[in-house]
Structure 1
Amino acid sequence: MTEQSRRSYDLLLENIEADLRSGAISLGDQLPGERTLAETYGISRASVREGIRILDAMGVLRSSSGSGPKSGAVIISEPSAGLSSALRLHMASRRLPVADIVQTRILLETWAAAAATDLPPSDAADTALAGAAALLEAMDAPGIDREMFHELDTRFHVALSSLAGNAVIETMMASLSGAISGYVRDAVDNMDNWPAVMTQLQRQHHGIYDAVASRRGDEAAALLREHIEWFHAQIPREEKTEGSDER
């Protein structure tokens, strides 16, 4: 890729950002076709295609073929998708150790648990708590397999983080969880003592939920830290080193 083509698709990204800021385009809007975008921004159609692919990967738009209102490039907003992908790639390169991702997750989750108690009750919080309770019930189902437990576990933690009412924290939590999802899934699949580990995780989840629901923020934060650190301590050291370049 040449420097000129890089500057060209950057121009598209900058103009899309400016149009979003100004309100010229909004969520759900369909972008014009390649030819129109190229003419509007004075760049080649190849640069337009490259810019659209990047915005798609970033979770800013959804691109699909065909015709009709749902075809072409439609403005969306899924920030955690793009962040998760970027984090996973940098973790794979050993640039971002899993241990650091886990520590960041602890910081965010414990802050969110404590901050949630300072907010007045709301319908949104009640909905999030109800969702977390449903996830707990699903994780307690007899015979639940490892993959489903892991998926529900991830959603449970993101749901709790949403109680702080901070969209950036919630997005970052979803991104961090997505970034280490493969690492955690592999670890869970290789645990010979998984039934005992799962039982302990279930107990911990219920304790965390009870503290959050009762608005005992400091206790919830302490339990979350203990829970996350305990689980990662169960992962064999060789897997940590291979997956994280742990320092």
Structure 2
Amino acid sequence: MDIKRVRKKSISEKIVAQLKEMIGQGQLKPGDRLPAERNLAEMFGVSRTTVREGIKALAESGVLESRQGAGTFVSEVDPSQVSVIESVLSGDHDMRDVFAVRKMLEPEIAALAAQKRSPAEIYKLEAILSEQEEAVRKGETGSDYDQRFHRMLADASGNLVLREMVKALHDAFAQSRSMIIQSEERQRASLAAHRAIVEAVKHGHGMQAERAMREHLDEVENIIFDNQK
């Protein structure tokens, strides 16, 4: 691999940029496994913590994916598909339009997750629920857990393109968030709905999962736009 050592200013960002460049040039291809963190740290001349931060950023954007017990791989999502999704959702969009697309996709994602979920994915969904519940109990917004929940559900659907679309939709939504959206009412409703969705997914009830997700999005939409009137 043609890896250049980086200076210790904005280190993780430079690692992200360099790995993206290597993927764009074909030095790293979809499905390729990255070297171990220790080896990457030696190649870049930085700490393993810094490498981990760069990998986490790329994983969150869908460029890389971590597979438990196997390592980190270049995502097999077609980069052109991701570019189209990002270009469509970039900019300032009306939240009603964002919700319309979410309501088309996310109920189907929940149904797919009920069909294809693994024990490890159910464990992660339940762990996110526990963390969200604790955050709400402490009076925190819990918005980070909300996004993680929906992305993990998309992971469980087994469709990487859907995962990228969910990420883009939630990023577009996050740009328009207000304090109203993070109200106590919204947080309680979100947590209860997430519990219902996980319960349906866990037991393989696709139609129930789809219905629970649709009701969740309807409820969130009503809370947001009723408060905006």
TM-score range, shorter chain: 0.5 to 0.7
* Greater Rg by CA: 1
Q: Partners in 1 of 2:27 and 2:97 — Cα distance?
A: 33
- 2:138 is paired with a residue whose SS is coil
- 1:234 is paired with a residue whose SS is helix
Contact 2:181 2:223 in 1 (8 A): no
- 2:181 is paired with a residue whose SS is helix
Q: CA deviation at 1:236?
A: 4.0
Q: Partners in 1 of 2:186 and 2:197 — Cα distance?
A: 16
1:111-168 CA deviation, whole Å, 9 max, x = no partner? 122223443x6xxx2222111101111111121411xx01101101111121111111
User: Are residues 70 and 229 of structure 1, via their aligned partners in 2, closer, same or farther at CA, if it must alter by over 3 Å?
Assistant: farther
Letter in 2 for 1:100: D
Q: Partners in 2 of 1:195 and 1:18 — Cα distance?
A: 47
Between 1:76-85 and 1:213-222, the stretch displaced more is: 76-85
2:143 matched to 1:143? no
User: Are residues 226 and 88 of structure 1, via their aligned partners in 2, closer, same or farther at CA, if it must alter by over 3 Å?
Assistant: same
2:211 matched to 1:222? yes
TM-score using structure 2 length? 0.61
Contact 2:189 2:220 in 1 (8 A): no
Number of the residue aligned with 1:196: 185
Number of the residue aligned with 1:69: 43
Contact 1:112 1:164 in 2 (8 A): yes
Q: Partners in 2 of 1:155 and 1:161 — Cα distance?
A: 10
Match of 1:108 among 95, 105, 110: 105
Unpaired runs of at least 5, structure 2: 1-19, 36-41, 46-50, 64-81
Q: How many residues align?
A: 173
Letter in 1 for 2:198: Y
Unpaired runs of at least 5, structure 1: 1-12, 30-67, 241-247
User: Are residues 17 and 199 of structure 1, via their aligned partners in 2, closer, same or farther at CA, if it must alter by over 3 Å?
Assistant: closer
Match of 2:148 among 155, 159, 179: 155
1:157-190 CA deviation, whole Å, 9 max, x = no partner? 111121111111112111211221132354435x
1:32-91 CA deviation, whole Å, 9 max, x = no partner? xxxxxxxxxxxxxxxxxxxxxxxxxxxxxxxxxxxx7337xx99865558868756642x
Once the two structures are aligned, what percentage of the paired residues are identical? 20
Letter in 1 for 2:119: D
Q: Partners in 2 of 1:167 and 1:88 — Cα distance?
A: 17
1:177-231 CA deviation, whole Å, 9 max, x = no partner? 1221132354435xxxx22332222221111111111111111111101111211
Contact 1:87 1:176 in 2 (8 A): no
Number of the residue aligned with 2:167: 174
Q: Partners in 2 of 1:229 and 1:110 — Cα distance?
A: 11
- 1:221 is paired with a residue whose SS is helix
Number of the residue aligned with 1:183: 176
Q: Partners in 2 of 1:16 and 1:200 — Cα distance?
A: 41
